[in-house]
Amino acid sequence: MAALLLRTSRGLGACLRVATGCPSPSSCVVAAWSSARWPREGAVAWRTHAQVRHYSSSDKLSIDMDDKTGVAVLKLSNPPVNSLSLELLTELAIGLDKLEMNPSCRGVIMTSAHPHIFSAGLDVSEMMGKPTEHYREFWRAVQEMWLKLYGSSLVTIAAINGSSPAGGCLMAMCCDYRLMADNPKYSIGLNETKLGIVAPFWFRDTMMGVVGTRVTERSLQLGLMYSPAEAVHVGLVDRTVPEETVFEEARTEMARWLKIPDHARQITKSMMRKTTIDHLLAQRDSDISNFANFISKDSIQKSLTAYMQALRQPKK
Ligand SMILES: CC/C=C\C/C=C\C/C=C\C=C\CC(=O)SCCNC(=O)CCNC(=O)[C@H](O)C(C)(C)COP(=O)(O)OP(=O)(O)OC[C@H]1O[C@@H](n2cnc3c(N)ncnc32)[C@H](O)[C@@H]1OP(=O)(O)O
């Protein structure tokens, strides 16, 4: 139980270091992941007689866990555009942590409760006209969500049922597999430069892990948004499917991934992602300071204001 409390209160990285006796975040990720799925003493806390259990207490996020299949469905539900506010980011990190701690959970399907928008990315209003302390808190929450999702040992599948700019694209890229509705009106990509802001190194590295260096360099500099077909072409999305089948296709894909023994897949995933995760863990505080300084600049605030005004103009 002590280990369980450490897990919930200090996050997966810290608890895993305790569980494995590893002194530093950088030296224990592989060992940690290989043992993370066996915290049997913590099992009692999440065991339930019902087959489907509702996890999240937030109205902005629903998480339903099916104990029989081991698959959780995480639905973003923050109208109108599922923007990632401080509150939603915090709920996401907590929800992902709970799933990670649940020994019967093996996979998560992430999707949107609202058709047409997967997520509009970070809530721009959280980055405008606020005190520096708020920017620091907000950015820590962005980091935390990324660490939990990118660092998840579970199979993660993004069922992208709408547009997914910037932070929305980041969440999808953190997943192990991406299916997108084949509606040409939808788009996905890291468009930060179009807002006059710069995607930090861990956004870049996440994208490089998915599409490689050249496509990332072009996509980031130009702030490219891709149609679903283009996204498949550059490897940003694994495949498109008819809009009405996105969720069922995600379930079928999940079943394929769950045929692989967890320990072998988890250690492999860890090997692929460890360097990128360690890079952020080693620079967390300086990354927060960089963000807070950058976003507080008058020129950046003006850029964001102009971007939001343009967004509010009636669409042609
Ligand atoms: C040196 C470097 C150091 C450190 C790093 C520094 C900086 C890094 C910083 C930040 C990284 C940020 C990543 C992000 O995620 S930024 C967010 C980018 N997101 C976008 O650009 C999306 C913008 N939105 C859209 O494109 C569209 O809204 C849409 C396609 C998602 C949906 O289109 P719709 O036509 O269906 O809806 P709209 O009418 O456009 O919007 C409805 C409503 O929602 C508001 N809104 C939209 N997106 C956001 C958002 N991201 N945040 C807050 N609010 C948003 C929009 O203004 C409308 O509001 P009103 O109803 O008009 O009030």
DSSP calls for the chain: -HHHHHHHHHHHHHHHHHHHT-SSGGG-HHHHHHHHT--GGGHHHH--SSSEEE----TTEEEEEETTTTEEEEEE--TTTT-B-HHHHHHHHHHHHHHHH-TT--EEEEEESSTEES---B-GGGGSS--HHHHHHHHHHHHHHHHHHHT-SSEEEEEE-EEEETHHHHHHHHSSEEEEE--TT--EE--GGGGT----HHHHHHHHHHH-HHHHHHHHHHT--B-HHHHHHHTSSSEEE-GGGHHHHHHHHHHHHTTS-HHHHHHHHHHHHHHHHHHHHHTHHHHHHHHHHHHHSHHHHHHHHHHHHHHHSPP-
Nearest CA to ligand 1 atom 40: 311
- Is the pLDDT assigned to residue 103 strictly greater than 90? yes
Termini Cα distance of the chain: 58
AA identity, residue 101: M
Q: Is 293 in the pocket of ligand 1 (CB under 6 A)?
A: no
- Is the pLDDT assigned to residue 35 strictly greater than 70? no
Question: Which of the four pLDDT bands, split at 50, 70 and 90, describes residue 50?
Answer: low
What pTM does this model have? 0.88
Q: Is 303 in the pocket of ligand 1 (CB under 6 A)?
A: no
Question: Which of the four pLDDT bands, split at 50, 70 and 90, describes residue 36?
Answer: very low
- How many alpha carbons fall within 13 Å on the CB side of residue 272? 17
Distances (CA, A) of 126 to 146, 223, 312: 17, 21, 17
The question of ipTM being above 0.90 is answered as: yes
Distance, CA 153 to ligand 1 centroid (Å)?
A: 30
Q: Is 291 in the pocket of ligand 1 (CB under 6 A)?
A: yes
CA–CA separation, 218 and 234 (whole Å)? 11
Indicate the range of 5-14, 124-133, 263-272 predicted with least confidence: 5-14
Q: What tokens does 103 get?
A: 């020994």
Distance, CA 125 to ligand 1 centroid (Å)?
A: 9
Q: Is 83 in the pocket of ligand 1 (CB under 6 A)?
A: yes
Distance, CA 260 to ligand 1 centroid (Å)?
A: 38
**pLDDT at residue 290, as a whole number:** 98
**What's the average model confidence in pLDDT over 56-69?**
90
Residues near 159 by beta carbon (within 8 Å), at least 6 away in sequence: 109, 110, 111, 179, 246, 247, 249, 250
Q: Is 139 in the pocket of ligand 1 (CB under 6 A)?
A: no
Of 13, 121, 167, 223, catalytic: 167
**What's the average model confidence in pLDDT over 39-56?**
49
